[in-house]
């Protein structure tokens, strides 16, 4: 049984960015265990929530499966989706202040990256359970634009297709003083592993066993074509 499943991009496990990011967050989602965190005062507090999701970029946001749909069904649909996506190069990444959060974002837009995210959203959506009234209300507290609310109703999440943006979260929302402290630390920590070139050759299935559990990287599914 799983509470939720998701499709993420995560760097290859032999990519220096993967180890560096796991050490920043203090958790390795592939091995489902805590790791020794970077020696930055207060880092545990500001990374706790991001660590529970694992280092990633969201392609298909976490979703509950419809009644009668198994994890094996989800994996089969993921494989069908991945087979239609051509491997591509990821643009160099940069540390960014993203709506108050620290995140890695792409240094330039990528149509291949957008197409990959779009395919993942559509490819497994037929297996998704509809959002509950409470889930809809929680999302709408952010004050969604019309297009975002339409996405929420149709796809269960506001930020897909034209409203999607690549980001790999590094912190919770920070105060101005916290940004002044943690952004330089993040820039120094990731400085030598952001350029690439970085080839995207798979998408990752992340699973959450029960509500409140951390997400685990359970499968890497190779891109095809």
From the centroid of its chain, how far is CA 121? 13
The conformational region for residue 196 under phi > 0 = left, psi -120 to 50 = alpha, else beta, is: left
H/E element, 200: strand 198-200
Integer Rg of the chain from CA: 17
Find the DSSP H helices in the chain: 16-25, 43-53, 71-83, 111-123, 133-140, 146-155, 176-190
C-alpha angle 198/207/39, rounded to 5°? 60
pTM > 0.75: yes
Per DSSP, 103 falls in state: E
Helical axes 16-25 vs 176-190, angle rounded to 10°: 150
pLDDT at residue 225 in the model: 65
Q: Kindly state the average pLDDT of the residues 93-122.
A: 96
156-174 tens-digit pLDDT = 999 999 999 999 999 999 9
- d(CA 175, CA 222) in angstroms, rounded, equals 39
Q: How many helices (H) and strands (E) does the chain have?
A: 7, 11
pLDDT at residue 196 in the model: 78
CB-CB neighbours of 63 under 10 Å: 21
CB-CB neighbours of 93 under 10 Å: 23
Q: With respect to CATH, is domain 4-222 assigned 3.90.1140.10?
A: yes
CB-CB neighbours of 52 under 10 Å: 15
pLDDT at residue 1 in the model: 57
58-70 tens-digit pLDDT = 999 999 999 999 9
- d(CA 76, CA 83) in angstroms, rounded, equals 11
48-59 tens-digit pLDDT = 999 999 999 999
- d(CA 187, CA 192) in angstroms, rounded, equals 9
Per DSSP, 176 falls in state: H
């Amino acid at each position: 049984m799983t509470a939720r499943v998701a499709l993420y991009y995560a760097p290859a496990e032999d990519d220096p960015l993967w180890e560096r990011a796991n050490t920043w967050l203090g958790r390795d989602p592939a091995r489902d265990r805590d790791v020794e965190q970077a020696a930055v005062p207060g880092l545990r507090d500001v990374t706790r929530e991001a660590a529970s999701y694992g280092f990633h970029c969201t392609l298909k946001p976490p979703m509950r499966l419809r009644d009668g749909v198994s994890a094996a069904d989800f994996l089969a649909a993921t494989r069908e989706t991945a087979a239609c996506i051509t491997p591509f190069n990821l643009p160099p990444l940069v540390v960014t202040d993203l709506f108050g959060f620290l995140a890695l974002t792409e240094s330039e837009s990528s149509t291949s990256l957008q197409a990959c995210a779009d395919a993942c959203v559509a490819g497994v959506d037929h297996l998704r359970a509809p959002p509950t009234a409470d889930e809809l209300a929680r999302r709408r507290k952010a004050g969604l634009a019309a297009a975002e609310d339409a996405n929420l109703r149709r796809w269960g999440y506001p930020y897909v297709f034209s409203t999607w943006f690549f980001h790999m979260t590094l912190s919770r929302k920070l105060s101005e003083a916290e940004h002044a402290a943690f952004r330089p630390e993040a820039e120094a920590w990731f400085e030598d592993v952001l350029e690439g070139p970085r080839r995207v050759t798979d998408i990752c299935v992340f699973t959450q066993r029960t509500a409140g559990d951390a997400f685990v990287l359970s499968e890497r599914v190779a891109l095809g074509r």
